[in-house]
Amino acid sequence: MALLSCGRRYQRVVTSVGTAGAVLALATAAAAQDMVRVRQTIQRLSSPAFHGRGYVHQGDHIAADYLRAQFSASGLQPLSTNYTQAFPLPINTFPGRASLQVGSQRLTPGIDFIADPSSGTGHVKGNILAFDTLLFSHPERHSAFLATDLCRRVLVLRQHDAARLSQLPVALQAHVLTAAARVTLLPSKLTASLASKQDPQPHLQVLASKWPAKARTVIVHLDAVFQPAYPTQNVIGYLPGRTQPDSFLVVTAHYDHLGRLGRSTYFPGANDNASGVAMLLELARHFSQPQNRPDYSLVFIGFGAEEAGLVGSRYFVEHPLFPLERIHFLVNLDLVGTGSQGATVVNGKIFEPQFQLLTQLNSAGHYLPSLVARGRAANSDHYFFSEHGVPSFFLYTRGGPTAYHDVQDQADALPLTAFQQVFALLSEFLLHL
């Protein structure tokens, strides 16, 4: 009933939007925005001093401190002490050595290889044993594999076969874990991630094109530290609404990323998600101006531990600082540093009246070349909100550089093609809500 009534109201709002008004809104929003400042925000969050905004050298806390300072400077009020909602996180980290030598060739961390997110620690020198792919189709070979001593071997297998290990009998799966180390050869791209557990052996992912085919030995040095309850946080500020302060519009973006791999390699996370944090901060600055303040209160949340499995947003939904049913709408920003092909809106097919409003505002203002609606997806921090009945969008831009969860996701390579247009569209969308 409420959604239907909202839909009728949105339709009335949309039909009243004219091109002239939209162009004026774009000009006003662009004028309120400083792209030099946006660049500086992304460069700073992506710099080595933030350690990839992960869980080595407290990169997440450095980023959270930066957000708190920006919230305070923008005039946002805290919803909890020092804008902080603390929570624990189980996380596997790689704070020390991360080296790999194959035969006589030393490979480069982040470029040639990465650690599997659940890799254990280890300092191994061993002979290479290529995984026998016939184990999947010839059960008679199982006994010979089980009889092979793997404790001084480095087991090497292709990505396709690694994905099929769970199809083997449990005894064979357990035997694989007795290898001194394991290497998975990837056909194309290194894509890092995080894990909430640690395996008993070092496990590296290596580009197949970088693997010396004739090598017979491997030397691995990998320091892995599992932290069962690492203390991290969400960072939350708000602006009271002019006429309905007990109803909320919420803007979110995760500030965390993948952290470090050893002492010399870190994952900058410029597009993912320094770009979303920069957009959130620009919207906060814009709406903090008295002339731009909406009727509803605006809440701005920098979520922690998104890369670890949406941990921060789930914690907030389970421990909300205000009633979730008071949220009129939520917009989550993640990967907004490109945009030559427009943007995709997750939940656009679920919350159709709101997507209709967004698309008509976009058409009237000529902001983005395309807006594509997706359905339900558990791919960012909107997810647990919408699963609890909160109307929510997750917007990300398309086109341009494709660096993702790798060391190439750097600020200098990020074009920010449609950043101003997305800012103008979201400013107008939130105001019309």
pLDDT in tens, 176-195: 999 999 999 999 999 999 99
The two beta strands, 342-346 and 392-398, are antiparallel
Tell me the whole-structure pTM to 2 decimals: 0.92
* Residue 317 pLDDT level (bands cut at 50, 70, 90): very high
Q: What is the distance of C-alpha 107 from the center of its chain? A: 27
Residue 331 three-state SS: strand
| Cβ(361)–Cβ(429) below 8 Å | yes
Dist CA 219 CA 239 (whole Å):
55
- More confidently predicted of 422 and 32: 422
Beta strand spans in 273-429 (E): 296-303, 327-333, 342-346, 371-373, 392-398
Residue 16 pLDDT > 90, yes or no?
Answer: no
Q: Within 10 A of 412 (CB to CB), how many other CB atoms are there?
A: 10
Q: For residue 80, what pLDDT is reported?
A: 95
* Among 91, 53, 81, residue whose Cα is nearest residue 311: 91
Dist CA 431 CA 419 (whole Å):
18
Q: For residue 44, what pLDDT is reported?
A: 98
| Chain segment 337-373, per-residue pLDDT in tens | 999 999 999 999 999 999 999 999 999 999 999 999 9
Residue 8 pLDDT > 50, yes or no?
Answer: no
Burial of 48 (0-12, 13-18, 19+ CB in 10 A): exposed
Distance set, CA 277 to CA 45, 300, 301 (Å): 9, 10, 9
* Among 265, 243, 199, residue whose Cα is nearest residue 54: 265
Percent of the chain whose pLDDT exceeds 70: 92
Give the strands of the sheet with 203-207, arranged side by side.
Answer: 105-107, 98-102, 217-222, 122-130, 153-158, 181-186, 203-207, 113-115
Dist CA 102 CA 124 (whole Å):
12
Q: For residue 33, what pLDDT is reported?
A: 67
Dist CA 345 CA 386 (whole Å):
13
* Residue 92 pLDDT level (bands cut at 50, 70, 90): very high
* Residue 303 pLDDT level (bands cut at 50, 70, 90): very high
| Chain segment 41-69, per-residue pLDDT in tens | 999 999 999 999 999 999 999 999 999 99
106-109: long-range pairs with CB below 8 Å, 24+: 107/206, 107/210, 109/261, 109/262, 109/264, 109/265
For the chain, list the domains and their CATH numbers. 2-91+228-432 (3.40.630.10), 97-222 (3.50.30.30)
The two beta strands, 371-373 and 296-303, are unpaired
Across the chain, mean pLDDT equals: 93
* Among 393, 397, 381, 392, residue whose Cα is nearest residue 344: 397
Q: Within 10 A of 232 (CB to CB), how many other CB atoms are there?
A: 23
Residue 6 pLDDT > 90, yes or no?
Answer: no
Residue 11 three-state SS: helix
* Among 311, 324, 335, 318, residue whose Cα is nearest residue 250: 324
Dist CA 405 CA 411 (whole Å):
14
